[in-house]
Every structure is written in structure tokens, then in C-alpha cells.
């Protein structure tokens, strides 16, 4: 499996459904899934990847920092 395929798979595996049924993903969960696949990323690098490659998700974080929360818009 290619590097890009592994990253996309990790992203999909890190998606959660919130209490209102909306799909969300935290940077922390995404980085943990990447690590499980031996593709270590920093929180900052993971955020950058999400911002570039996954445009339907928007940042809905309530706290500052690199551990962000994205929700499917």
C-alpha cells in the first residue's frame, strides 16, 4: 500500500461520530492511527495534511493549539 493510501486509511479510521450524529476527527486520533501504521506525524503536520487534502472537514476547535477538531461540513 502506498504512503498516501496509508494516510487516507488512517484518516478514515480516526473519524468518529459525535453525540449529534456528525462526523468528526481530532488531530490526536489521526496521529495515533498514523503511528499504528508506522507513519509518524506531528500534530502540526497532520493538521496541514487535513487542511490540504480533506476540504469537506472544517476546523471546529474550541481550544487553541495543534490538537484540533474537524467536523464534516
Angle among Cα 61, 67, 72 to the nearest 5 degrees reads 45
pTM beyond 0.85, yes or no: yes
pLDDT tens per residue, range 40-52: 899 999 999 999 9
Predicted pLDDT at 5:
87
Determine the straight-line distance between the first and last CA of the chain, rounded to whole angstroms.
29
| Domains of the chain and any CATH numbers | 3-72 (1.10.10)
**Cα 31 versus chain centre, distance:** 7
Cell numbers found for residue 66? 495543534
Amino acid at each position: 500500500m502506498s504512503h498516501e493510501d496509508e494516510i487516507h486509511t488512517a484518516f478514515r479510521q480516526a473519524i468518529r461520530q459525535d453525540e449529534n450524529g456528525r462526523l468528526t476527527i481530532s488531530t490526536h486520533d489521526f496521529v495515533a492511527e498514523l503511528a499504528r501504521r508506522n507513519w509518524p506525524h506531528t500534530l502540526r503536520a497532520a493538521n496541514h495534511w487535513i487542511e490540504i487534502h480533506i476540504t469537506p472537514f472544517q476546523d471546529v476547535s474550541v481550544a487553541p493549539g495543534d490538537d484540533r477538531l474537524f467536523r464534516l461540513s
